[in-house]
């Protein structure tokens, strides 16, 4: 896959365009005759030719400003090749609206502090954490209900259940059940992807896991299950699959994200996204 991020799939909402060898999801606004498009972590382009077609398509949009946040590219040589194409197509570099970097975790990074491991052990005493592939309809309903609780708590616009069904069909999910009540109190839903990971692993690895959605009930928060859920998922992946890289799918050391302390307890292996760019055409 030349360029890919699962959040560019149509199930994630907003407007969607399908071209010759490329697709992209976008937000749009209009003022008089002038239109603005924002493409977050796109496009999806299976081949280089598809990406070239995407750039020509953007160049053809008259009276339009396009803000493009490119998706993660793990190989530096490939990232430079892509950004050179973007600049040659008349784009100018800018600042990401999305997180401008991510954190990746490898088996070698799993060296948590004593206090963090105590929190994990305490969580595992209170919950059974199960790792599953495709979720049943009931499990999907239960996971989505917890997600809606978390979305309301964080005051974010929730994604549709179709997104969760899509990711579950070809992903991996950690489910945390209270040992006393046997009720689901937390989850971590993830998506497999393929990419050139040679700059991270120094091998021919191409399989990785993207962390997509997580949530806890109020009880799950009281039981402090969050870190245990992540730890058990990571341990399972590294011990039972051919995946050697897990991507937190977003991080920022410049935007004051409240979650950074939690994420950096698992890894401090930051990788920058390739770039954010703007293209403007009037006539």
Domains of the chain: 6-99+274-281 (no CATH), 103-251 (3.40.630.30)
Within 10 Å of residue 269's Cβ, how many Cβ atoms? Answer: 17
pLDDT in tens, 78-98: 999 999 999 999 999 999 999
CA distance 98 to 78: 21
- pLDDT at residue 258, rounded to an integer: 84
pLDDT band (50, 70, 90) for residue 132:
very high
Q: What is the DSSP letter of 45?
A: B
pLDDT band (50, 70, 90) for residue 231:
very high
pLDDT band (50, 70, 90) for residue 257:
confident
Torsions phi, psi for 12 (to 5 deg):
-80, -5
Residues 6+ apart with CB under 8 A from 152: none
How would you write 131-168 as a 3-class SS string?
EECCCCHHHHHHHHHHHHHHHHHHCCCCCCHHHHHHHH
- pLDDT at residue 18, rounded to an integer: 98
- Tokens, residue 54: 């995407």
pLDDT: which is higher, 109 or 126: 126
pLDDT band (50, 70, 90) for residue 256:
confident
pLDDT band (50, 70, 90) for residue 209:
very high
Torsions phi, psi for 102 (to 5 deg):
-140, 170
The dihedral over CA atoms of 18, 19, 21, 22, expressed in degrees to the nearest 10, equals -60
- pLDDT at residue 68, rounded to an integer: 98
pLDDT in tens, 160-175: 999 999 999 989 999 9
CA distance 72 to 79: 9
Mean pLDDT of the chain: 96
User: Tokens 């929730």 label which residue?
Assistant: 158
pLDDT band (50, 70, 90) for residue 148:
very high
Instruction: Give the helix, strand, coil percentages of the chain, each rounded to 5.
Output: 35, 30, 35
Within 10 Å of residue 203's Cβ, how many Cβ atoms? Answer: 9
- Tokens, residue 243: 């995946």
Torsions phi, psi for 210 (to 5 deg):
-100, 125
pLDDT band (50, 70, 90) for residue 120:
very high
Angle at 85 between CA 80 and CA 88, to 5 degrees: 120
R_g (Cα) of the chain, nearest Å: 20
- pLDDT at residue 259, rounded to an integer: 84
pLDDT in tens, 25-35: 999 999 989 99
CA distance 183 to 188: 15
pLDDT in tens, 46-73: 999 999 999 999 999 999 999 999 999 9
Within 10 Å of residue 207's Cβ, how many Cβ atoms? Answer: 15
């Amino acid at each position: 896959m030349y360029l890919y991020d699962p959040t560019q799939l149509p199930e994630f909402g907003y407007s969607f365009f399908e071209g010759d060898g490329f697709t992209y999801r976008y937000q749009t606004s209009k003022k008089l005759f002038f239109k603005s498009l924002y493409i977050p972590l796109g496009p999806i382009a299976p081949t280089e030719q598809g990406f070239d077609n995407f750039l020509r398509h953007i160049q053809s949009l008259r009276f339009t400003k396009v803000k493009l946040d490119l998706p993660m590219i793990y190989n530096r040589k490939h990232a430079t090749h892509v950004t050179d194409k973007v600049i040659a197509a008349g784009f100018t570099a800018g600042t990401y609206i999305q997180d401008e970097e991510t954190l990746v975790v490898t088996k070698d990074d799993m060296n948590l502090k004593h206090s963090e491991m105590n929190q994990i052990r305490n969580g595992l005493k209170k919950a059974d954490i199960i790792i599953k592939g495709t979720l049943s309809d009931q499990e999907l309903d239960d996971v989505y209900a917890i997600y809606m609780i978390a979305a309301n708590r964080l005051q974010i616009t929730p994604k549709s259940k179709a997104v969760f069904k899509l990711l579950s069909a070809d992903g991996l999910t950690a489910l945390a059940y209270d040992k006393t009540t046997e009720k689901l109190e937390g989850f971590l839903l993830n998506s497999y992807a393929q990419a050139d990971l040679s700059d991270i692993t120094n091998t021919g690895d191409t399989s990785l896991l993207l962390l997509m959605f997580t949530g806890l009930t109020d009880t799950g928060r009281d039981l402090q299950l969050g870190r245990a859920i992540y730890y058990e998922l990571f341990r399972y992946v590294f011990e039972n699959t051919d995946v050697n890289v897990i991507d937190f799918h977003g991080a920022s050391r410049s935007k004051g994200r409240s979650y950074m302390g939690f994420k950096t307890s698992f890894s401090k292996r930051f990788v920058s996204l390739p770039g954010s760019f703007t293209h403007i055409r009037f006539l």
